[in-house]
Amino acid sequence: MKKLVIVLIILIVLLGLFAGLGTLLTKFNLISQVEQPEKIKVVSEESVTISDVKKVGPSVVTVEEYSQPQSQTSFNFGPFQIFGFNMPQQQQQNQTPQVSSIGSGFVVSLDGLIVTSKHVVADIGAKYDVVTSTGKKFTVQKIYRDPLNDIALLKIDPNENKGTVLTKATLGDSSKLQVGQFVVAIGTALGEFRNTVTTGVISGLGRAVTAGDQFQGYIENLNNVIQTDAAINPGNSGGPLVDSGGNVIGINTAIAQNGQNIGFTLPINIVKDSINNFNKTGQFNRPYFGVTYTTLTQQVALYNDVVQGAYVRSVVSGSPAEKAGIQPGDIIVRFDNQQVSDKNELSGLIGKKKAGDNISIKVWRDGKTTDLNVTLGTAPTQ
């Protein structure tokens, strides 16, 4: 009887030990299951970034502007900055044209078509060069500026540098983006560091911001843009934002001056529409006015003791605006009997018209209003 009791006790102890061991193994297995995905995630994100850079990096270019500095009227702007990179003023004082601004872009066709932001090549009288990721320099032969969007197409001759082979970027679909999606930004940070790579996520969709650069005097309303926390710096403007598949989903356009890691990107579907329009006609067949301007909000107008409207920075020689009598320093307050404001921006009003339309304009000049008429043309090339 005692032997039976001892055997039972031994069996109970053994069963307890086995149960404890099973629980321990189960916990270990669960820990392994929890830890393993984290390790895989880190490796996966790193692999995606490296893959994106290898695929898209060779197509990214630096856009250099050569021009003489011009004096500009300074205004106090809002919180978002459209960004290129302006070279220090002391470098601009020589008689020989120097690099005055640097932006980014990317190749979209092997015959030498490059996409960038329109504000990167806003100076129609300037000379522009494109430098590839390998350091090969090409002269920009023609520039096609989209009057409705912050988009420009640059044309270079691929044969200018013998033996250089261009790499074309793959364009994605920005209609399927989701907040939280992983992205990579590539561009010439600070106008010096080519093919700088930063990573982040899409932190917002469908944003609307009024962006401008007080040094360049350029301001524009940007609608339905992508917000990202991928670090973007001056000089990145015009460069690509890339998804995890190595597809370009947008053009980096603006940053928040008073925030950290808040950047804005023009969706690539807008760019694709512009490219399709260009491929059909050989140009952006859209109405053309012929001024560079700064939109003065009510707050800015009150601060500077002027009227609200579109402050004309410069007038393109031979343009419809020049023929109509528009002068630098004018403030366009009404266009086709509609008030010009930050909510009813001049480029949007022009975009609703057609080439050949005759439009009445009211401008504020030297404290007085003047009525003018303009016949819109078609977008020029350079």
* Catalytic-labelled residue, pool 59, 237, 274, 319: 237
Count the neighbouring beta carbons within 10 Å of the beta carbon of residue 90: 7
Q: Answer whether 124's CB lies under 8 Å from 382's CB.
A: yes
Which residues neighbour 269 within 8 Å (Cβ) at sequence distance 6 or greater? Answer: 173, 174, 175
Q: For residues 224 and 112, give the distance between their C-alpha atoms in angstroms, rounded to a whole number.
A: 29
Give the residue carrying structure tokens 């008429």. Answer: 373
Tokens of 197: 């790579």
Say how far apart CA 72 and CA 214 lie, in whole Å. Answer: 9
Residue among 52, 150, 213, 330 flagged as catalytic: 150
- On the 0-12 / 13-18 / 19+ scale of CB atoms within 10 A, 370 is middle
The answer to whether 237 is a known catalytic residue is yes
> If 0-12 CB within 10 Å is exposed, 13-18 middle and 19+ buried, where does residue 273 land?
middle
Catalytic residue (choose from 100, 101, 119, 229): 119
Which positions are annotated as active-site residues?
119, 150, 237
